[in-house]
Amino acid sequence: MSKKKSDLGPRLVTAAVAIPILLYVMFVAPPWGFFLLLLWAGPTSVWEYGNMTFGAQEPRLRNLAALLSAGVYSVMYWAPSHFLGALCGAATLIMLYVLFTWKDLEAASEQIAKAITGIIYGALMIGTLALLSRDTGQAGGFWILMTLSLVWSSDTGAYFTGRAFGKRKLYPSVSPNKSVEGAIGGFFSTILFAFGFNALFTYGAGDGYHANLFGLDFFSIDLVWKELTWWQVLLMAIPANLLGQMGDLVESLIKRAHGFKDSGTVIYGHGGLLDRIDALIFAAPWVYYFYGTFVA
């Protein structure tokens, strides 16, 4: 039997390319740079969701949902007072498309629901990251990094805790490799990372980081961060972790319901985009709401 080819190499290549781009967009580019990044990520996620739920049955409705998601997301970012109208308009267009083109009347309402859900799930929920970057001003990069870290620390803690102590399955019918012990480990690792990042950012607040290449100052980062109290850290981290873990399970549920192992192949060595941001999709709206309600 041939040995399975390792995906470590492709994953390292992807990380080497993606991480510098992500850091540049977070800390150097203007806030609308993150809008542009998610203008690609959101519709791509909607397309992947549609590809799983529609399959080869109706590619035109899948593509229409992805296109409309870009428009609704843009309105949400640039003209929020018209967001509800844009969302209603997109839903109306989808319903009219199905009304005049769909031949299987018994499945019509199901297809409408899939398309509208795809827009909200794939584009608008993750789109709150761009709103967070915009509304937190100079500290936007740090808030994005904090949000990403809440998810990454949970994944890391769950992985190592699960490997070391995992015995009881968390939800075997949806995600057979996840354990209760891993979920608990991810929960506490998120809280520890949140306190650690808050302390680190606060310690460096008021300073600046300057990167030099051959004597040229090619970018600088001002360490601007408003210290969070202990209760703010807990209020931010606990729901973000629980929502992130639920988001992971929801995407696994969608894949299993439609017989997919990966949501796509858009990321070299990593599968689909939804596979990488499923937890963020659920956690990001909470962090954005938390900032606007308890910090701003």
What burial class does residue 81 get, using C-beta atoms within 10 Å of its C-beta: 0-12 exposed, 13-18 middle, 19+ buried? exposed
Determine, yes or no, domain membership for 106. yes
The pLDDT value recorded for residue 216 is 44
Determine, yes or no, domain membership for 3. no
The pLDDT value recorded for residue 204 is 59
The pLDDT value recorded for residue 9 is 61
Tell me how crowded residue 156 is: count the other CB atoms within 10 A of its CB: 16
Determine, yes or no, domain membership for 1. no
What values do phi and psi take at 222, rounded to 5?
Answer: -85, 125
CA distance linking residue 177 with residue 175, whole number of Å: 6
What digits encode the pLDDT tens for the residues 152-193?
A: 999 999 999 999 998 999 999 999 999 999 999 999 999 999
Both tokens of residue 233? 């850290």
Find out whether 132 and 284 touch, Cβ atoms under 8 Å.
Answer: yes
**Nearest residue to 287 (alpha-carbon basis) of 226, 218, 235:** 235
Determine, yes or no, domain membership for 103. yes
- CA neighbours within 13 Å on the CB side: how many for 206? 3
**SS3 category, 175:** strand
Instruction: Give the position of tokens 């969070």.
Output: 228
Per-residue b or e along 163-187, where b marks 16 or more CB atoms closer than 10 Å to that residue's CB: eeebeeebeeebbeebbebbbbbbb
The pLDDT value recorded for residue 3 is 44
pTM over 0.85: yes
Determine, yes or no, domain membership for 2. no
Both tokens of residue 123? 């584009």
Which domain, by its residues, includes 280?
8-295
Determine, yes or no, domain membership for 199. yes
Task: Give the DSSP H/E element, type plus range, for residue 4.
Answer: none
Find out whether 61 and 111 touch, Cβ atoms under 8 Å.
Answer: yes
The pLDDT value recorded for residue 211 is 45
Intervals of the chain under pLDDT 50 = 1-6, 209-218
Number of domains in the chain: 1
Determine, yes or no, domain membership for 272. yes
Find out whether 172 and 182 touch, Cβ atoms under 8 Å.
Answer: no
